[in-house]
Amino acid sequence: MNALRHIGYMTVRDLRALWRQPWYVVATLVQPVIWLLLFGELFKRVADLPGFGDESYIAYLAPGVVIMSALFSSGWNGMATIEEINRGVTDRLLVSPVRRGAVIAGRVVQSAIVIVIQSVIMVGIALAVGATFPGGVVGVLVLILVSALLGACFATLSNSLALMTRQEESLIGAVTLLVLPLTFLSTALMTSDLLPGWMKTVSDVNPVDWAIEAGRSATAASTDWALVARDAGLLALLLAVCATLAAQAFRSYQRSI
Amino acid sequence: MKTSVDHGPAIEADRLVKTYPGDVRALDGLSLTVPAGTIFALLGPNGAGKSTTVRILTTLSRADSGTARVAGHDVVREAGGVRRAIGCVGQRSAGDREATGRENLRLQGQLHGMRGRDLGARVDELLEQIGLSEAADRLVRTYSGGMERRLDVAMALVHRPQVLFLDEPTTGLDPEVRADMWREIERLTREHGLSILLTTHYLDEADRLASQLAIVDRGRVVAGGAPEHLKAELRGDAINVELTYTANGAVHAALDPVPGIRELVVDGTSLRARADEGARAVPLVLAALEAGGIDVASVTVARPSLDDVYLRHTGRSFEEAER
């Protein structure tokens, strides 16, 4: 109970800070929107290839881009943690009776809430440029849920890296190194039937692809709920692993001060 | 939340040892006792171990060995109890800069389990006390250094702690803001009956604020007691006399018979000596010199400073240790 309340306090604090710099939210949206519009246009003819069925490429692309926007915005979540460590804010919190986990959990919840808002905006833009989500409202809700789940995983990972490296340059390097390959080694842009063999193998163990597959299936005309449940379950498991890692990183930070 | 009435010392540390990676021994058996309701200063140059001590006492960091109790709670086994009983002002302003002053104070109170009217009233009261009522709903980012510092103090006090830690609270502040902080700290102990552990590398700060102090050097307490007492141990004030012309032998002949004058050193036209009570010795010195036909240009009496105390206990002057 106390822990939940503390997570709440920290989440409100982080959301409020973000609310005061909305350009950050807009900035993390710009890239996925560009991808949606640019790739949607550039690869229009790709959908003529066998393997895409009869849907338009933009309809194929939309769920993937929603997940991508979650990945982009959550990866930077640890930056605020580094800034607060360097400014002494974290230490000030740690000498108060705050629940230790709440300091990071609050920030991750904030990231997940931002991702939900971003995902709604992305879905709106996708609909406006001609994508359809035959899975209906339930499908879209599942898409947003897995997007938030993946975002929570990466936000937690980002905070763990932040606690371990405590250097903005290192975090920027790690995030940049991870985000693009994870996006391309997935079915975000190309159906799995058309991926080269090794890429297909990699995509099977790529959490980004779990989220994309679950989201795409949920929003498709006929949903494979077993697949959605399996991928969502895998993401939940990954979140637990990331949380353990974050707790470990937090302990190592405390030992170092 | 008030814990049970406790008449024991506010802080007790016993033989704390802390080594950082690379074999840096930050604390080397540091012990101290802070009586309740007093300002206790931990005085020492940078790197002496003051901040490490504060980190251990505030549960941020753990000692390799040794024990410590704060407000009656063991800092390791009862860390929660310690955290509820203390307030901390760190070396740097650590308010949330993207939040307002009021939001910062409220969050701090909430984390200490305060809520509703009690919290609102307490926050208003503190904002009033530190003169930030007008700026309460502005982002901390827009505050001046002095305002930010006052907010730090208020944040440490929201939950009415028993023990307050001030880790170099005036480092890097301009003199005016510093004097402001000093008045604030004095008011706090007077009005709230707080026990305060203050770390500082300013001798004048320790001298002005602390009723007890410990001089820390290389991770140990090398001397402790009331500032007056420590200075009195040096036995006497310094008397400096400037002569109009040199008169080496005559000076000794004139002053040696004067009672209470010790450690007379003559160096050209300057002579230095110690006396138990400088003000009382000066007329005798002047009379003796006049009787010996020696002209005096000027005379000054200086109370022993903490700098002298530091020099005596560490064998280094304070400035030297800071380097």
Query: Using an 8 Å Cβ cutoff, are B37 and B62 in contact?
Result: no
What are the φ and ψ backbone dihedral angles of A14, each rounded to 5 degrees? Answer: -70, -35
> What DSSP letter does each residue of A168-226 carry, written as one string?
HHHHHHHHHHHHHHHHHTTTSSS-GGGS-HHHHHHHHT-HHHHHHHHHHHHHSSS--HH
- Hey, how many other C-beta atoms are within 10 angstroms of the C-beta on A2? 11
Query: What is the distance between the alpha carbons of residues B283 and B261, in angstroms, rounded to a whole number?
Result: 12
Q: Regarding beta strands B11-20 and B261-267, do their DSSP bridges make them parallel or antiparallel, or are they unpaired? A: unpaired
| Contact between chains at A92 and B90 (C-beta distance less than 8 A) | yes
Amino acid B234 reads L
Contact B94 A6 (CB under 8 A): no
On the question of pLDDT at A11 being above 90, the answer is: yes
Is the CB of residue A85 less than 8 Å away from at least one CB of chain B? no
Close Cβ partners of B223 (under 8 Å, ≥ 6 residues apart): B214, B215, B230, B309, B313
Look up tokens 């070396």; give the residue.
Answer: B91
Low-confidence ranges of chain B (pLDDT < 50): 1-5
> H or E segment at B9?
none
What is the pTM (predicted TM-score) of this model?
0.83
Looking at chain B, the domain(s) classified CATH 3.30.70.100 span 236-303
Closest-approach residue (CA) in chain B for A17: B98
B139 touches chain A (CB under 8 A): yes
CATH for B11-231 (3.40.50.11890, 2.60.40.2480, 3.30.360.10, 3.40.50.300):
3.40.50.300
CA of A250 vs chain B CAs: smallest distance (Å) = 12
The rounded radius of gyration (Å) of the Cα atoms in chain B is 24
* Separation CA B112–CA A97 (nearest Å): 6
| ipTM for the whole complex | 0.88
Q: List the single residue in B94, B98, B113 with the smallest CB-CB distance to A92.
A: B94
Is the pLDDT at A85 greater than 50, yes or no? yes
Chain A contact for B103 (CB, 8 A cutoff): yes
Q: B114 in helix, strand or coil?
A: coil
Share of chain A above pLDDT 70, in %: 100
* Interface test with chain A among B3, B83, B98, B105, by most A beta carbons within 10 Å: B98
Give A20-39 as a DSSP string: T-HHHHHHHHHHHHHHHHHH
The SS3 call for residue B270 is: strand
Instruction: Write the secondary structure of B208-247 as one string of H (helix), E (strand) and C (coil).
Output: HHCCEEEEEECCEEEEEECHHHHHHCCCCEEEEEEECCCC
For residue B40, give the nearest of B313, B181, B180, B226 by alpha carbon: B226
What part of A 13-42 touches B (C-beta under 8 Å)? Answer: 13, 16-17, 20-21
pLDDT value, residue B229? 86
Name the residue among B79, B100, B110, B158 with its Cα closest to residue A4: B110
Q: How far apart are CA B61 and CA B75, in angstroms?
A: 10
Q: pLDDT tens digits, residue range A169-225?
A: 999 999 999 998 999 899 988 888 888 889 989 999 999 999 999 999 999 988 999
Residues in A closer than 8 angstroms to B103, CB to CB, are 13, 16
C-alpha span between B128 and B316 (Å, rounded)? 45
What is the per-residue pLDDT for A40? 85
Q: Do A87 and B94 touch (CB under 8 A)?
A: yes
Strand B73-74 relative to strand B65-70: parallel, antiparallel, unpaired?
A: antiparallel
Locate B101 and state its tokens. 């002053």
| B208 close to B183: Cβ distance less than 8 angstroms | no
The single residue listed with the structure tokens 């080694």 is A185
Residue B17 corresponds to which amino acid? V
Position B6 scores a pLDDT of 52
Count Cβ atoms below 10 Å from residue B313 Cβ, excluding itself: 16
Chain B: nearest CA to A254, how far in angstroms? 7
- Which tens digit of pLDDT belongs to each residue from A95-153? 999 998 999 999 999 999 999 999 999 999 999 988 889 999 999 999 999 999 999 99
Rounded distance between C-alpha atoms, residue A84 and residue A89, angstroms: 5
Least CB–CB distance from B112: residue in A17, A97, A255: A97
Average of pLDDT values for A226-254? 96
CA distance B237 to B199: 27
Q: What separation in angstroms does the CA of A78 have from each of A104, A162, B207? A: 9, 5, 43
The helix (run of H) or strand (run of E) holding residue B11 is strand B11-20
Q: Average of pLDDT values for A57-70?
A: 91
Tell me if A84 sits within 8 A of A10, measured CB to CB.
no
Contact B299, B286 (CB under 8 A): yes
Q: Edge-to-edge strand order for the sheet containing B296-302?
A: B261-267, B270-275, B237-243, B296-302
Q: What CATH number has the domain spanning B236-303?
A: 3.30.70.100
The beta-carbon neighbor of B111 closest among A89, A91, A98 is A98
What is the model's pLDDT at position B100?
Answer: 96
Q: Which amino acid is at A96?
A: S
For residue A30, give how far its alpha carbon lies from the nearest alpha carbon of chain B (Å). 24
Show the tokens assigned to A6: 């503390």
Cα(A161)–Cα(A167) distance, rounded to whole angstroms?
A: 9
Instruction: From B12, B15, B56, select the one nearest B221 (Cα to Cα).
Output: B15
Q: CB–CB of B122/B114 below 8 Å?
A: yes
| Subunit contact A9:B111, Cβ cutoff 8 A | yes
Please give, rounded to a whole number of angstroms, the shortest distance from the CA of A7 to a CA of chain B. 10
Answer whether A6 touches B (CB < 8 Å). Answer: yes
Strand stretches in B143-208, DSSP E: 163-167, 195-200
Residues 6 or more apart in contact with residue A73 via CB below 8 angstroms: A25, A28, A29, A111, A114, A115, A118, A151
A124's enclosing H/E stretch is: helix A100-128
- Say if residues A203 and A192 touch (Cβ distance below 8 Å): yes
Bridge partner list, B149: none
Mean pLDDT of A80-88: 93
- CB–CB of B83 and A9 under 8 A? no
Residues A231-241: what's their mean pLDDT?
A: 97
Taking residue A225's Cβ as centre, other Cβ atoms within 10 Å add up to 11
Q: Does B194 touch chain A (CB under 8 A)?
A: no
